[in-house]
């Protein structure tokens, strides 16, 4: 049942990302208007009709808008996958994923996107944790079309 639900969630994510508009005149500074939330499986946030502009030198938080704090709540025993789709491939961004519980950096690196965007996996922990995710452009400004937090079973 879990595998079927997970496959369904991935299919829904793929469909949402495939039908998003290809171009946009302005960047969005608002909360994304399209969201999919399958509790314990996946949360997808899509900026439509505009994209989120990531400006060099200005860190931008990718918030979980289903929580009051914007932090990603990760249950014990679950891994976390961050997936970000950008306006085009080969976008370099500084990605920072920090534990709110321990203060430890879970991921901090410049990442260059592929055709599938940016995909970063954080292994499961033995305790509940909250993550804060920020991105910063590396060089020129870029646009984020959508982002997702996927809970992984290891």
Specify the higher pLDDT residue, 142 or 12: 142
Average pLDDT in the 90-108 region? 89
Strand ranges for 47-154 from DSSP E: 52-54, 60-61, 72-74, 78-86, 92-99, 105-112, 118-122, 129-137, 142-153
Portion of the chain with pLDDT greater than 90, in percent: 33
Exposure string over 96-112, b if 16+ CB within 10 A, otherwise e: bbbbeeeeeebbeeebe
Q: pLDDT tens digit string along 51-90? A: 888 888 889 999 998 889 999 999 999 999 999 988 877 8
Query: Is pLDDT of 105 > 50?
Result: yes
- What domains are there in the chain, each with its CATH number? 2-153 (2.60.120.380)
pLDDT confidence bin for 4, thresholds 50/70/90: low
């Amino acid at each position: 049942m879990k595998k079927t639900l997970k496959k369904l969630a991935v299919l829904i994510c793929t469909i949402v990302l495939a039908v998003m508009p290809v171009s946009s005149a302005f960047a969005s500074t608002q909360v994304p208007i399209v969201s999919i939330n399958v509790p314990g499986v996946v949360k997808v946030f899509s900026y439509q009709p505009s994209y989120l502009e990531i400006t060099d030198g200005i860190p931008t938080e990718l918030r979980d808008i289903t929580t009051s704090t914007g932090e990603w709540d990760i249950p014990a025993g679950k891994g976390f996958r961050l997936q970000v789709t950008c306006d085009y491939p080969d976008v370099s961004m500084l990605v920072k994923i920090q534990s709110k519980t321990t203060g430890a950096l879970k991921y901090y690196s410049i990442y260059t996107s592929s055709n599938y965007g940016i995909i970063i996996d954080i292994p499961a922990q033995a305790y509940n944790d909250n993550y804060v995710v920020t991105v910063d452009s590396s060089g020129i400004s870029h646009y984020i079309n959508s982002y997702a937090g996927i809970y992984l079973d290891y």
